[in-house]
């Protein structure tokens, strides 16, 4: 066989070889880089225990600040933290909110109930260096209770504090500044600009409707708001609006958004609260009574990741709530109904059907049109025995199981006292702790309770 050496082909082959070599080197480098980025014991973990996303957002910023100093840092939820991770980590910054009465947020309940309850011999952590940023609100009896408990537990396990715990009262800027400076010091960066909360927009109230005339309870209004510049911000069903009231501008109040952007307006369901001295609540009084059509309402929308539909968008939905909790559920239901997902079961509770059947026409129209597969109502004071949504759940236990087995997600919105605890206890009895834990871990059991 005669081998002819064609210079053009030879050149082509040389190019191919060169290209292959270049690709291999790039791959090898990429693998090295990847290996370098994979979590190792020298990484910095920023663990958040968050219910409505404040601690989570601060964790993301904290990890980013560490990264500007060249440290390999990542933020993760306490839901993902286990004993093996704790034993492997050398540096963890914790950002922990408190819920209930000094309790852990839902995402941290498993960790608090297992690792933290386990005792010193289970998790001895002398190699760990840590710091805690505790988020809370001094209006609650057990201020920063979970952050304090976490800090004390880490100390008992033999871990070393990088610096003293910092407690934050309702997002206090001074305390957050102190945390930012400490983290900057760890990262070796001292010139990072101060973290600033997102600015408020100026909104006006288009419409305010009393939803429960004659109610034995406090008045509850549906408000429709539009931004004065006419540009609606983006939000998703499940998100929150923060309102800064003129009487208490430093402490915004949260409201579950009851509409979707396609409605062209932001709707809230706001209960008028009374303070101990009988005066109206700072924010609910402003929204329900004092603000007029010409008033500017300072409002910003806030992602509430833990209450969005996310992967549950196509699953059957069991929506459970009471009172103003209908707001968050209505946002979720509207989002599903516009996407033509009608596998929705709403269980809703209030006081008396005659006065408190909130948004009755809308809910009954949804039911009649098949947008709600089921609508079950509990009016607590319409009979001698008090009847709540948790009773509905227990009565429908077989159906709850059937829906969950069909893949349903469960969303709960409304009062923490009474409702959320009662619903949780009913779900525990109906589904069992293992199945309920698994649903929570899968993101199929989500709560917006206050």
Ligand X SMILES: Cc1cc2nc3c(=O)[nH]c(=O)nc-3n(C[C@H](O)[C@H](O)[C@H](O)COP(=O)(O)O)c2cc1C
Ligand Y SMILES: Cc1cc2nc3c(=O)[nH]c(=O)nc-3n(C[C@H](O)[C@H](O)[C@H](O)COP(=O)(O)OP(=O)(O)OC[C@H]3O[C@@H](n4cnc5c(N)ncnc54)[C@H](O)[C@@H]3O)c2cc1C
Q: Interface residues with ligand Y (CB under 6 A)?
A: 52, 139, 240, 253-256, 269-271, 273-276, 281-285, 324, 327, 448, 450
144 closest CA partner among 134, 132, 152, 153: 134
**What is the Cα–Cα distance from 187 to 34, expressed in whole angstroms?**
22
Residue reference for tokens 């990262």: 187
- The smaller minimum CB distance to ligand Y, of residues 189 and 215, is found at 215
Q: Which does 390 bind (CB under 5 to 8 A by kind): ligand Y, ligand X, none?
A: none
Least distance CB 142 / ligand X (angstroms)? 5
- Residue 211 — φ and ψ, nearest 5°? -90, -15
Residue among 1 and 141 whose Cβ is closer to ligand Y: 141
* Span 7-36, contacts to ligand X by CB under 6 A: none
Stretch touching ligand X by CB under 6 A, among 53-61, 178-186, 280-288, 400-408: 53-61
Q: Does 150 bind ligand X (CB under 6 A)?
A: no
Joined tokens for residue 100: 């209930």
**Binding flag, residue 324, ligand X (CB under 6 A):** no
Residues 54-73, one symbol each (x = binds ligand X by CB under 6 A, - = not), give xx------------------
- Under the criterion CB under 6 A, does residue 322 sit at the interface with ligand X? no
Residue 58: its H or E element: helix 54-68
Our finding on whether 256 is near ligand X (CB under 6 A) is no
User: Does position 53 bind ligand X by CB under 6 A?
Assistant: yes
Size of the chain, expressed as the number of residues it contains: 450
User: Interface residues for ligand X in 192-251 (CB under 6 A)?
Assistant: none
- Tell me how many degrees the CA angle 50-420-364 measures, rounded to the nearest 5: 115
Query: Under a CB-based contact definition with an 8 Å cutoff, are residues 393 and 427 in contact?
Result: yes
Q: Judged by CB under 6 A, does residue 323 bind ligand X?
A: no
Compare residues 205 and 287 and give the one whose CB is closer to ligand X.
Answer: 287
Spatial CB neighbours of 340, under 8 Å, sequence gap ≥ 6: none
Q: How many CA atoms lie within 13 A of 429 on its CB side?
A: 12
Q: Over 251-293, what HEC string results?
A: CCEEEEECCCHHHCCEEEEEECCECCCCCECHHHHHHHHHCCC
Q: 50 vs 52, which CB is nearer to ligand Y?
A: 52
**Min CB(121)–ligand X separation in Å:** 30
Q: Are 73 and 27 in contact (CB under 8 A)?
A: no
Binding residue (CB under 6 A) for ligand X from 43, 44, 45, 50: 50
The answer to whether 66 and 60 have CB atoms below 8 angstroms apart is no
Which chain residues interact with ligand X by CB under 6 A?
A: 50-55, 97-102, 105, 135-137, 140, 142-145, 416, 450
């Amino acid at each position: 066989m005669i081998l002819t050496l064609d210079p053009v082909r030879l050149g082509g082959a040389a190019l191919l070889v060169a290209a292959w070599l270049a690709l291999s080197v790039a791959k090898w480098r990429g693998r090295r880089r990847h290996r370098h980025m994979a979590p190792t014991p020298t990484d910095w973990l920023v663990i958040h225990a968050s219910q409505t996303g404040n601690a989570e957002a601060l964790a993301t910023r904290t990890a980013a600040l560490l990264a500007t100093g060249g440290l390999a840092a990542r933020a993760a939820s306490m839901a993902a933290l286990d004993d093996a991770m704790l034993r492997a980590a050398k540096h963890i910054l914790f950002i922990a909110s408190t819920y209930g009465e000094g309790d852990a947020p839902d995402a941290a309940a498993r960790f608090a109930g297992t690792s933290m309850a386990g005792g010193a011999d289970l998790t001895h952590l002398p190699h760990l260096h840590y710091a805690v940023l505790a988020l809370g609100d001094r209006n609650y009896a057990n201020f920063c209770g979970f952050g304090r408990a976490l800090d004390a537990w880490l100390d008992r396990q033999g871990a070393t504090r990088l610096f003293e715990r910092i407690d934050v009262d309702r997002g206090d800027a001074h305390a957050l500044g102190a945390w930012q400076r400490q983290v900057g010091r760890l990262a070796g960066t001292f010139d990072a600009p101060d973290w600033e909360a997102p600015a408020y927009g100026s909104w006006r109230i288009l419409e305010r409707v009393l939803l429960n005339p004659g109610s034995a309870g406090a008045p509850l209004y549906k408000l429709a708001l539009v931004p004065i510049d006419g540009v609606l911000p983006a939000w998703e069903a499940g998100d929150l609006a923060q309102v800064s009231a003129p009487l208490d501008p430093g402490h915004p109040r949260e409201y579950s958004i009851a509409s979707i952007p396609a409605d062209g307006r932001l709707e809230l369901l706001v209960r008028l609260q009374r303070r101990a001295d009988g005066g109206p609540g700072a924010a609910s009084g402003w929204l329900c009574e004092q603000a007029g059509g010409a008033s500017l309402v300072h409002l910003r929308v806030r992602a509430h990741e833990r209450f969005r539909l996310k992967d549950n968008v196509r699953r059957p939905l069991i929506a459970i709530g009471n009172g103003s909790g209908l707001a968050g559920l209505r946002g979720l239901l509207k989002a599903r109904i516009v996407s033509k997902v009608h596998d929705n079961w709403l269980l809703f509770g209030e006081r008396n059907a005659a006065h408190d059947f909130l948004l009755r026409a809308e809910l009954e129209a949804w039911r009649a049109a098949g947008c709600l597969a089921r609508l079950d109502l509990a009016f607590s004071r319409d009979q001698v025995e008090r009847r709540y949504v948790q009773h509905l759940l227990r009565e429908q236990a077989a159906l709850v199981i059937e829906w969950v087995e069909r893949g349903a997600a469960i969303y709960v919105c409304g009062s923490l006292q009474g409702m959320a605890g009662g619903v949780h206890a009913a779900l525990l009895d109906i589904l069992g702790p293992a199945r309920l834990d698994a649903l929570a871990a899968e993101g199929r059991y989500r709560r917006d309770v206050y």
